[in-house]
């Protein structure tokens, strides 16, 4: 039985209560994590005179930011479920090797990404659709953030190893500490020191550095069950290989988010100019208010599913999935209803530019028309991850973005007079189709996976 003084018993008791204990801190952490970028954007959007241009410029950096996050989750989302499965099998030594190897991978990623992105930031941002007006703001923000990207990688990549042990509150504080610091520092740097977008970037990097120190302090301290030890940091292909294989699904999901951002900004700058690109910056921020809490719910469900799957307790795996599924679907549907009723309210949070707010309100009703489907999509796809099914999860990740959404962004404007509306329409069509396929696939596969694992456990 896995029960710790600060963690939770994964093998017995009410699944819904356990999921609530794990998911609520994870959801809070995800929502607070959002504030890193959203608070920046809210303050930047209200910079006198240049606010809307600066907001558009910083929005263009999202494609690079998503790639940095994708590499963090390649190690974190791949390693954490395998560490939990190893703990379920009482193989704690192997679990600690996974932690150490994943940390080394993150440091390697940080080194390579910092050098490449710092050098090529201006060229990349121009390719993404930066104009003469928005490029200086985009480059100023990007280069400072990139220099501190090692902290973002550590926070995003190592925090899942805290959550997967059942220390959900500790994991939550990782992001709360950083986000509160960011909220305090942003206005000081942006307005107090008159640093503009550079100030926003500095505030974010300092906040993430504090978050990274918190994570490392916990994982090397006395309370953790899986310790980050120097002797486990030597890279071993048999340890980090399966982590990368499992994490590739989340990596593809997040890196294609970057490709997606490029596709949207390229098409929107072509058909709608800086105003349409500025609206897209706000739309992605509001969409993340839906997606991030869903990810948090699934982070709460993942340790329960992974541990009990490793331990051969299939009834508990089923209960955890269905509870998670209902929560995700319910949240996404409620948020969708609110968005459809008051889109201008959300747009107004990010800018006081009347033209931008009205334009974004119109675009939001089109772009988010299918956001309710994300509850189904994420609940099923993340459950494939929790059960160690990297290939199926990868296929589902590719379906929505690569197979459907990116082609639709370029194809739909050929058939509509309003080209900008056609670009935005690609999102809901892809959301609904992908969710339908993912949910049906999970329904067909889930029972087979559990039966196969049950037979393996009996044989062992």
Both tokens of 432, joined, read 């609904």
Of 341, 338, 330, 340, the residue nearest 375 (C-alpha): 330
Q: With contact defined as beta carbons under 8 Å apart, do 350 and 285 qualify?
A: yes
Rounded distance, CA 287 to CA 83, Å?
31
So what's the pLDDT on residue 249?
76
Domain ranges across the chain: 15-459
Q: How many residues does the chain have?
A: 460
3-class SS of residue 371: helix
So what's the pLDDT on residue 28?
82
So what's the pLDDT on residue 342?
96
- 362 burial level (CB within 10 Å; 0-12, 13-18, 19+): middle
DSSP 229: -
Enumerate the H helices of 164-236 as residue ranges.
168-187, 196-219
DSSP 193: S
So what's the pLDDT on residue 294?
94
So what's the pLDDT on residue 26?
80
Per-residue pLDDT tens digits of the chain, which is 460 residues long: 444 434 577 887 889 999 998 888 888 877 876 776 688 889 999 998 888 899 999 989 989 999 999 999 999 999 999 999 999 889 999 999 999 999 999 999 999 999 999 999 999 999 888 889 999 999 999 999 999 999 999 999 999 999 889 888 898 888 889 888 998 999 999 999 999 999 999 999 999 999 999 999 999 999 999 999 999 999 999 999 999 998 987 888 788 888 898 999 999 999 999 999 999 999 999 998 899 899 889 988 988 999 999 888 999 999 999 999 999 999 999 999 999 999 999 999 999 899 999 999 999 999 999 999 999 999 999 999 889 887 888 788 789 889 999 999 999 999 999 999 999 999 999 999 999 999 999 999 999 999 888 888 777 6
Residue with tokens 């869903």, as numbered in its chain = 294
Both tokens of 188, joined, read 């000081």
Q: With contact defined as beta carbons under 8 Å apart, do 208 and 148 qualify?
A: yes
Rounded distance, CA 125 to CA 223, Å?
43
- Find all residues with CB under 8 Å of 450, minimum gap 6, and list them: 314, 317, 318
Both tokens of 385, joined, read 């991850």
- Find all residues with CB under 8 Å of 332, minimum gap 6, and list them: 290, 294, 371, 372, 373, 374, 375, 376
Rounded distance, CA 83 to CA 243, Å?
9
Q: What is the pTM of this model?
A: 0.80
Rounded distance, CA 455 to CA 452, Å?
5
So what's the pLDDT on residue 37?
67
So what's the pLDDT on residue 116?
98
Of 145, 68, 158, 156, the residue nearest 112 (C-alpha): 68
- The rounded Cα 44 to chain-centroid distance in angstroms is 22
Of 249, 302, 315, 306, the residue nearest 447 (C-alpha): 315
């Amino acid at each position: 039985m896995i029960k710790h003084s600060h963690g939770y018993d994964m093998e017995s008791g009410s699944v819904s209560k356990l999921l609530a204990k794990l998911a609520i801190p994870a959801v809070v952490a995800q929502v607070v994590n959002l504030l890193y970028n959203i608070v920046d954007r809210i303050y930047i959007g209200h910079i006198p005179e240049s606010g809307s241009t600066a907001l558009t410029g910083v929005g263009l950096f999202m494609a690079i930011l998503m790639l940095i996050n994708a590499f963090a989750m390649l190690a974190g989302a791949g390693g954490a479920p395998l560490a939990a499965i190893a703990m379920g099998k009482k193989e704690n030594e192997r679990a600690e090797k996974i932690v150490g190897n994943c940390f080394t991978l993150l440091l390697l990623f940080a080194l390579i990404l910092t050098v490449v992105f710092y050098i090529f930031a201006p060229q990349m941002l121009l390719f993404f659709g930066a104009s003469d007006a928005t490029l200086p703001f985009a480059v100023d923000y990007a280069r400072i953030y990139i220099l501190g990207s090692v902290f973002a990688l550590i926070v995003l990549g190592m925090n899942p190893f805290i959550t997967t042990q059942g220390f959900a509150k500790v994991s939550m504080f990782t992001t709360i500490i950083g986000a509160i610091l960011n909220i305090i520092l942003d206005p000081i740097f942006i307005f107090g020191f008159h640093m503009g977008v550079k100030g926003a970037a500095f505030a974010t990097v300092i906040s993430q550095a504090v978050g990274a120190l918190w994570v490392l302090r916990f994982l090397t301290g006395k309370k953790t069950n899986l310790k980050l030890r120097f002797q486990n940091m030597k890279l071993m292909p048999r340890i980090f290989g399966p982590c990368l294989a499992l994490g590739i699904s989340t990596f593809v999901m997040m890196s294609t988010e970057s490709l997606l951002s490029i596709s949207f900004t390229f098409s929107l700058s072509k058909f709608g100019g800086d105003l349409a690109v500025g609206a897209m910056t706000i739309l992605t921020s509001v969409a993340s208010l839906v997606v991030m809490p869903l990810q948090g719910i699934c982070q709460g469900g993942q340790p329960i599913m992974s541990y009990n799957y490793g331990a051969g307790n299939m009834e508990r795996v089923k209960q955890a999935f269905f509870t998670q599924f209902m929560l995700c679907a319910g949240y996404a549907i409620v948020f969708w209803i609110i968005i459809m009723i008051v889109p201008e309210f959300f747009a107004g949070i990010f800018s006081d530019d009347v033209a931008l707010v009205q334009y974004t309100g119109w675009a939001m009703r089109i772009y988010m028309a299918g956001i309710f489907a994300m509850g189904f999509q994420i609940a099923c796809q993340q459950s494939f991850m929790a059960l160690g099914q990297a290939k199926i999860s990868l296929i589902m990740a590719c379906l929505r973005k690569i197979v459907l959404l990116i082609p639709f962004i370029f194809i739909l404007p050929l058939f509509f007079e309003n080209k900008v509306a056609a670009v935005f329409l690609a999102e809901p069509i892809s959301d609904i189709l992908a969710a339908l396929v993912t949910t049906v696939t999970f329904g067909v596969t889930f029972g087979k996976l559990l039966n196969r694992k049950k037979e393996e456990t009996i044989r062992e």
